[in-house]
Structure 1
Amino acid sequence: MKDLINKFYKNHSLIYKALLFISTTFLIVYLFPKSGKFKYNFEKGKPWQSETLYAPFDFAIQKTEEELTQEKNNIEKNSTRYFELDNAVAPFVLNEFNNTFNKAIPDSIKKNRSRLKRIGRDIIKDLYDYGVLNDITTIKDNANITILDNRVEKKKTDFGSLYNLSEVSKKIDSELENSNLKVYSKPLTALFFNIIKPNVTYNRDLTEKALQEAMGKISYTRGSIEKGTLIISKGEVVEGNKFLILTSLKSEYKSQVWNESNYNLIIFSYTLLVALALLMLLLFLRKYRLTVFNNNTKVTFIFFNILLMVLLTTLLVNYNSLYIYIVPIAILPLVLKAFFDARLGLFTHVITVLLLGSIVPNSYEYMFLQIIAGIVTILTVSELYKRANLFISVGQITLVYIIAYFAFFVIHEGSVDTLKWETFGMFILCGLATLFVQPLIYIYENLFGLVSDVSLLELSDTNTKLLKRLSNEAPGTFHHSLNVANLAEASANEIGANAMLIRVGALYHDIGKMNNPTYFTENQSSGLNPHDELSPKESAKIIIDHVLDGIEIAKKNNLPDRVIDFIRTHHGTSSVYYFYKKAQEVNENVDIDDFSYPGPKPFSKETAILMMCDSVEAASKSLKEPTSTKIDNFVESILSKQMEDGQFLNANITFKEIQAIKKVLKRKLANIYHLRIEYPE
């Protein structure tokens, strides 16, 4: 059990990466649309770009949404509304009329009384021949209705034939006016108001049920295509019936491919593709970016950004695939270049675009545009901390999007007459969204503890709290750090290394000397040397400890790990040679390990450059009556000694680059000492 725990602990980093790899793979597959992907891309009104297509199986031609909507509207318009009849109401109303007529109509109109009574009975008969109902305004007058008597159909008519209570008075006025008895309208209307009651009631449930039955009989297809039938030839324009047939084939293909029997197999295949792409990224990191691969936080950060881009694109595809170009994919290489380097940024961008090609329409066009945009991003964006550079680069990225899209459109259409200008607007919105990279980098720095060039620019300010303390407590060391920073920055620019990073590293590399500033010669202004009172071994320990003290101070002040690396490696595993030789004078059996720095050796171009510049600048103070020849020999001697000691074996720096750095150091030192060219005598 103990061995198993020890084995787990030793391999915990690889286990974490495996879990991260598996979880990211499944999350990406989960985000993918759960439908089959038709292997042909086509758009209405554009030429068919693929080979001549024959029907791979029998399928029905589906009706368009417009056709189905029209059919549903027609059914709803012509559907029958059902009403229930109450047979007891009409006799009751007539009886009430006969009983109350004499009381309601005054005796003063005996002359027309019988005639008025007959008209009232005729009105009641007319009203109840079709029916009287409460006010219903949602049904149109020409709508078909059926009146049911005890669930049995009694008559069919249109809704306009029914009377509602508000129309009774109009009916009375009309009949009396035709009989020249208009003067009796008021008492007769009052009588009818008291006795008329509705006798038909709207049966909503039965009406809805009948409508749903009619809707259920709608056919969603019109005609069919047999297997082997020619659908479309290469170069033929996709329009009219061709477009409907292709759309039907695409829909049928999805339903046939994604059925229960092979759903799991297709999901498994998607998983294989995603896993393969992510595996390539991990192998790239392991072979070419080992420091990134060994840092689980950085690997998590890279996978998180890939997942974020897949999520955003999937959401847009599910909402409306026309808007996919609004997603600022170019942010991905921008962010990775800011925290790592251009090569890693571009490689990750290509992997992400390949993954997105599985879910977007017109995948070839999409991938071409995004890969080109990623390349432009890597080539144009430099010194991200300069705001103007970002705006210029975003403009160039947007321009490349527009040019590439225009070229694809002309290839497909053969003209610019139907050019979709709104797509250009999407590219502009994408460019504006890319500007969000600045606050995003700040958020990432706080979430993942990473450092970008923007943060390095802030750290390079000599008015920061830590550098002010260094200038006050160890002014000689501070001046030495400034000189090293200038030498290192010039050297980095010469070979294309990260000049901003190396400048910051140089400014902070000796902050450990603040604990014992007077034990370092650059801070000894009184002429007294405290090492005179110490043994060589004790003196060497104080000198060596400034590296460990510097790491401790840096961590307390929350300096980024990339900066701490310079403190840790700027002496590599070299020895404090002066005190080693002094100790040998006292005792020949001296272990050189007691006089050597703990390391590690420099493991990047930047840390290697700092070691060179630090050693050259510090030793140059011992030059007496410097000349160009002396400086050349002096630089050659120091750097050759470091190379012989194998200090640069772990750094990815070449002999050619070291030679270029030597030239820079020689030139800079000559400028510092104001040397002129030595002319031959």
Structure 2
Amino acid sequence: MNNLINKLYRNHALIYKGLLFVCTTFLIVYLFPKSGKFRYNFERGKPWQSENLYAPFDFAIKKSEEEIDSEKKNITENASLFFNVDNTIRTKVNNLYPNAFTKAFSETVPKPLLDTLFSAGKEIISDLYTFGVLSESYNFSGDRAVTLLDERVEKQNTLFVNLVGQNEITEIIDKILIKYDLSQYKTTFVSLFFDLIEPNLTFDKSFTDKVLQEELDKIAYARGSIERETLIVSKGEVVEGDKFQILKSLQSEYESQIWTKSNYYWVLFAYTLLVALALLMLLLFLRKYRTKVFENNTKVTFIFFNIFLMVFITTLVVNYNSKYIYVVPICILPLVFKAFFDARLGLFSHVITVLLLGSIVPNSYEYMFLQITAGIVTILTVSELYKRANLFISVGQITLIYIVAYFAFFVIHEGSVETIKWETFVWFILCGLATLFVQPLIYAYEKLFGLVSDVSLLELSDTNSKLLKELSNKAPGTFHHSLNVANLAEASANEIGANAMLVRVGALYHDIGKMKNPTYFTENQSTGINPHDELSSKESARIIIDHVIDGIEIARKNKLPDRVIDFIRTHHGTSVVYYFYMKEKEDFDEVESSDFSYPGPRPFSKETAILMMCDSIEAASKSLKEPTSTKIDAFVENIINKQIEDGQFLNANITFKEIQSIKKVLKHKLANIYHLRIEYPE
């Protein structure tokens, strides 16, 4: 049992990666659309590229969206409107009319005229309530059919134009009075009916909507059917009109049948295999080419999390409305990975993610071509992400690539630009703007996952930071030395294409451990007193060696990133404190070199190797007397060649050619420092 526990403990990192791999695979498969994939690709107006296609089963020909929308529009525009009638209102108005009429007209009016006026008023009431008076204004077409309901029972059918609105009462009064030649009494009648007439029609919206929905539900979504073994399309035949709609119907039927029948689990298993294969390729890439990343579970988690996040966001957008698919800023992925790792890992992860998204999005080939191209442009154009102008320029280039590629695809598909959807270009612009969100996203990731980007390195390179100010106050000579090393290291890194910002920051902080005992280091001994004179060689060597351990402790206390602490750990590698070692050998015959050796480790990257070279060269250059170009060349060659002989660069991925380039830079820089002229041959 103990052996099993010990074995699990020793392999806990691999077990974690396995669990992460399985969880990410199932989460992505869960997000995938619940349908199979039609095996044929076809486009409207293009020839059928595959063999003759016969119907594999009976299926209905589905109507196109345009046909269904047209039917819905026709039903909606011609659907009957339902109004409730209050019959008591008309009776009430007729009962109140005689008294109101008597009050409105004086007794001096001759009786024959009075009878005519009374009859005109009765006719006005009759005309107003023939169909009814509306309670409010409605913006319906006059030829819309109207059904009048009395207690929800159909009473009468008419057109909306026959219903009287509030603003039409005066017109009816005027019309009747003209008929009776009584226009001079218009003001009196208007005043009379202003208080008398009450609306008796109210629009029954809920019932109208219910009836409309019932009519819409009766729409047939299919027109005709295709029997099994019927020839659908021949090879080379242009796919258009009914052919296109039949193929779309077959595709829809095929996908729905595949996912709902007994082979559901087979399709699910197939999706799982594809996703697992893609993620496995990523893990194998990390293991073979990015070992340090692979061994760090936090970084592997970070990579898998970002891939899943992009799949999740894209799925949400596709489920909402697939026309917004290009608003999703997929290019944030290579940007983030390049900021924290490198361009090759960023591009590889981006391609894997786009391949996964190909199973989710419509027009998968077009989508993958655009996104992979945009990802390549992102990797090629975005450099020095901490410079804001670079990010804006790169985002502009990415957006332009999207627009150009989409335009080319559209022209290939449609054969013209007349029907191009210009709104898609707006989605690309929005995608570009969303990509600018990468800056705050990188900051958030740094805090969540403890990673370091060039933006953070730029902040750390500020010599006004608390730790570097403390170094300049406590150990001014060491601070000046660190600045010189930083300049040499940055120039060397630029020469061989290494991370110049990282190596500069590492150089600035590599000797912060000397703050603990600053006077024990020659660059800080301004009084001429050397405390080592009172110590043994072993004690002196121990103090010198301990500045590495002290530097690591100070760095951790000040929460410096591990990438920077690596420079503190490796800048002396496993080299020997040569001066005190030789001094000890003068006094004793047998001396253990391990007592005078730095704990290491040796440099394990180009950047840490560069720092070791530059640190040694800068420190030793102070001992040069009457330097010449020849002396400087020999000086640089001797120091770096000795480091190579000691095997200090065996773990660093740096080549002899790159070391030669670094030597050339250091010789040139030292010549400039000592203001030497080039020695021309006589």
TM-score relative to the length of structure 2: 0.82
CA separation of 1:302/1:80 partners in 2, compared to 1, >3 Å: closer, same or farther? closer
281-290 or 60-69, which deviates more: 60-69
CA drift at 1:431: 1.9
Q: Does 1:55 align with 2:61?
A: no
State whether residues 41 and 362 of structure 1, in contact with CA within 8 Å, keep that contact through their aligned partners in structure 2. no
Alignment partner, residue 597 of structure 2: 596
640-649 or 35-44, which deviates more: 35-44
Q: Does 1:575 align with 2:576?
A: yes
CA drift at 1:504: 0.8
Alignment partner, residue 668 of structure 2: 667
Alignment partner, residue 184 of structure 1: none
Q: Does 1:506 align with 2:510?
A: no
Q: Does 1:398 align with 2:399?
A: yes
CA separation of 1:624/1:146 partners in 2, compared to 1, >3 Å: closer, same or farther? closer
Looking at structure 2, the residues matched to 570 and 205 of structure 1 have their Cα atoms a distance apart, in angstroms, of 80
Looking at structure 2, the residues matched to 463 and 148 of structure 1 have their Cα atoms a distance apart, in angstroms, of 84
Alignment partner, residue 103 of structure 1: none
Which letter does structure 2 place at the counterpart of 1:8?
Answer: L
Looking at structure 1, the residues matched to 677 and 153 of structure 2 have their Cα atoms a distance apart, in angstroms, of 121
Alignment partner, residue 608 of structure 1: 609
CA drift at 1:82: 12
State whether residues 478 and 523 of structure 2, in contact with CA within 8 Å, keep that contact through their aligned partners in structure 1. yes
Looking at structure 1, the residues matched to 439 and 206 of structure 2 have their Cα atoms a distance apart, in angstroms, of 61
Alignment partner, residue 323 of structure 1: 324
Looking at structure 2, the residues matched to 72 and 243 of structure 1 have their Cα atoms a distance apart, in angstroms, of 22
648-657 or 671-680, which deviates more: 671-680
Alignment partner, residue 639 of structure 2: 638
Alignment partner, residue 88 of structure 1: none
Q: Over residues 440-491 of structure 1, what are the superposed CA-to-partner deviations in whole Å (9 max), with x where a residue is unaligned?
A: 2222222222111122122112222211211111111111111111111111
Q: Does 1:27 align with 2:43?
A: no
Looking at structure 1, the residues matched to 636 and 611 of structure 2 have their Cα atoms a distance apart, in angstroms, of 14
CA separation of 1:131/1:451 partners in 2, compared to 1, >3 Å: closer, same or farther? closer
Alignment partner, residue 280 of structure 2: 279
Looking at structure 1, the residues matched to 376 and 82 of structure 2 have their Cα atoms a distance apart, in angstroms, of 69
Looking at structure 2, the residues matched to 474 and 527 of structure 1 have their Cα atoms a distance apart, in angstroms, of 15
CA drift at 1:544: 0.7
Looking at structure 1, the residues matched to 154 and 331 of structure 2 have their Cα atoms a distance apart, in angstroms, of 70
CA drift at 1:498: 0.7
Q: Over residues 80-136 of structure 1, what are the superposed CA-to-partner deviations in whole Å (9 max), with x where a residue is unaligned?
A: 99999xxxxxxxxxxxxxxxxxxxxxxxxxxx9xxxxxx9xxx9xx9xxx9999999
State whether residues 54 and 227 of structure 1, in contact with CA within 8 Å, keep that contact through their aligned partners in structure 2. yes
Q: Over residues 624-670 of structure 1, what are the superposed CA-to-partner deviations in whole Å (9 max), with x where a residue is unaligned?
A: 33333332222222222212222111111111111221222222222
Looking at structure 2, the residues matched to 460 and 162 of structure 1 have their Cα atoms a distance apart, in angstroms, of 81
317-326 or 328-337, which deviates more: 317-326
75-84 or 618-627, which deviates more: 75-84
CA separation of 1:58/1:537 partners in 2, compared to 1, >3 Å: closer, same or farther? same
Which secondary structure does the structure 1 equivalent of 2:260 belong to? coil
Which letter does structure 2 place at the counterpart of 1:324?
Answer: I
Looking at structure 2, the residues matched to 425 and 673 of structure 1 have their Cα atoms a distance apart, in angstroms, of 58
Which letter does structure 1 place at the counterpart of 2:8?
Answer: F
Looking at structure 2, the residues matched to 605 and 58 of structure 1 have their Cα atoms a distance apart, in angstroms, of 66
State whether residues 317 and 324 of structure 2, in contact with CA within 8 Å, keep that contact through their aligned partners in structure 1. yes
Q: Over residues 23-69 of structure 1, what are the superposed CA-to-partner deviations in whole Å (9 max), with x where a residue is unaligned?
A: 21122122222223334445555665666544333211112345445
Alignment partner, residue 440 of structure 1: 441
Which letter does structure 2 place at the counterpart of 1:501?
Answer: L
CA drift at 1:500: 0.9
CA drift at 1:355: 0.8
Within-5 A mapping of 1:359-398: 359-398=360-399
Looking at structure 2, the residues matched to 480 and 300 of structure 1 have their Cα atoms a distance apart, in angstroms, of 39
State whether residues 632 and 666 of structure 1, in contact with CA within 8 Å, keep that contact through their aligned partners in structure 2. yes
Which letter does structure 1 place at the counterpart of 2:461?
Answer: S
CA drift at 1:353: 0.9
Looking at structure 1, the residues matched to 305 and 421 of structure 2 have their Cα atoms a distance apart, in angstroms, of 34
Which secondary structure does the structure 2 equivalent of 1:598 belong to? coil
Which letter does structure 1 place at the counterpart of 2:676?
Answer: L
Which secondary structure does the structure 2 equivalent of 1:224 belong to? strand
Alignment partner, residue 104 of structure 1: none
State whether residues 47 and 412 of structure 1, in contact with CA within 8 Å, keep that contact through their aligned partners in structure 2. no
Looking at structure 2, the residues matched to 472 and 658 of structure 1 have their Cα atoms a distance apart, in angstroms, of 35
CA drift at 1:141: 11
Looking at structure 2, the residues matched to 615 and 288 of structure 1 have their Cα atoms a distance apart, in angstroms, of 30
Looking at structure 1, the residues matched to 622 and 137 of structure 2 have their Cα atoms a distance apart, in angstroms, of 102
| Matched pairs, number | 681
Which secondary structure does the structure 2 equivalent of 1:231 belong to? strand
Looking at structure 2, the residues matched to 598 and 48 of structure 1 have their Cα atoms a distance apart, in angstroms, of 70
Alignment partner, residue 546 of structure 2: 545
CA separation of 1:518/1:56 partners in 2, compared to 1, >3 Å: closer, same or farther? same
238-247 or 458-467, which deviates more: 238-247
State whether residues 477 and 523 of structure 2, in contact with CA within 8 Å, keep that contact through their aligned partners in structure 1. yes
Q: Does 1:355 align with 2:356?
A: yes
Looking at structure 2, the residues matched to 11 and 583 of structure 1 have their Cα atoms a distance apart, in angstroms, of 45
State whether residues 602 and 648 of structure 2, in contact with CA within 8 Å, keep that contact through their aligned partners in structure 1. yes
Alignment partner, residue 109 of structure 1: none
Within-5 A mapping of 1:466-485: 466-485=467-486
State whether residues 575 and 592 of structure 1, in contact with CA within 8 Å, keep that contact through their aligned partners in structure 2. yes
CA drift at 1:19: 1.9
CA separation of 1:75/1:469 partners in 2, compared to 1, >3 Å: closer, same or farther? closer
Which letter does structure 1 place at the counterpart of 2:32?
Answer: F
Which secondary structure does the structure 1 equivalent of 2:545 belong to? helix
Q: Over residues 344-373 of structure 1, what are the superposed CA-to-partner deviations in whole Å (9 max), with x where a residue is unaligned?
A: 111111111111111112211211111111
Question: Aligned-pair RMSD on alpha carbons?
Answer: 4.8
Q: Does 1:423 align with 2:424?
A: yes
Alignment partner, residue 557 of structure 1: 558
254-263 or 203-212, which deviates more: 203-212
CA drift at 1:3: 3.8
Looking at structure 2, the residues matched to 207 and 430 of structure 1 have their Cα atoms a distance apart, in angstroms, of 43
CA drift at 1:398: 1.9
CA drift at 1:567: 0.4
Q: Over residues 480-530 of structure 1, what are the superposed CA-to-partner deviations in whole Å (9 max), with x where a residue is unaligned?
A: 111111111111111111111101111110010010001011111222111
State whether residues 79 and 144 of structure 1, in contact with CA within 8 Å, keep that contact through their aligned partners in structure 2. yes
CA drift at 1:213: 7.5
Which structure 2 residue ranges, 5 or more long, are not aligned? 85-111, 113-118, 165-171, 181-202
Which structure 1 residue ranges, 5 or more long, are not aligned? 85-111, 113-118, 164-170, 180-201
Alignment partner, residue 116 of structure 2: none
State whether residues 43 and 413 of structure 2, in contact with CA within 8 Å, keep that contact through their aligned partners in structure 1. no
Which secondary structure does the structure 2 equivalent of 1:258 belong to? helix
Q: Over residues 553-601 of structure 1, what are the superposed CA-to-partner deviations in whole Å (9 max), with x where a residue is unaligned?
A: 1112121111111001101111212222222333333322222111111
CA separation of 1:538/1:203 partners in 2, compared to 1, >3 Å: closer, same or farther? closer
CA drift at 1:390: 1.6
Q: Over residues 513-550 of structure 1, what are the superposed CA-to-partner deviations in whole Å (9 max), with x where a residue is unaligned?
A: 01000101111122211111111111111111100111
Alignment partner, residue 12 of structure 2: 12
State whether residues 615 and 638 of structure 1, in contact with CA within 8 Å, keep that contact through their aligned partners in structure 2. yes
State whether residues 41 and 361 of structure 1, in contact with CA within 8 Å, keep that contact through their aligned partners in structure 2. no
CA drift at 1:623: 2.5
Alignment partner, residue 269 of structure 2: 268
CA drift at 1:410: 2.7
State whether residues 605 and 654 of structure 2, in contact with CA within 8 Å, keep that contact through their aligned partners in structure 1. yes
State whether residues 520 and 544 of structure 2, in contact with CA within 8 Å, keep that contact through their aligned partners in structure 1. yes
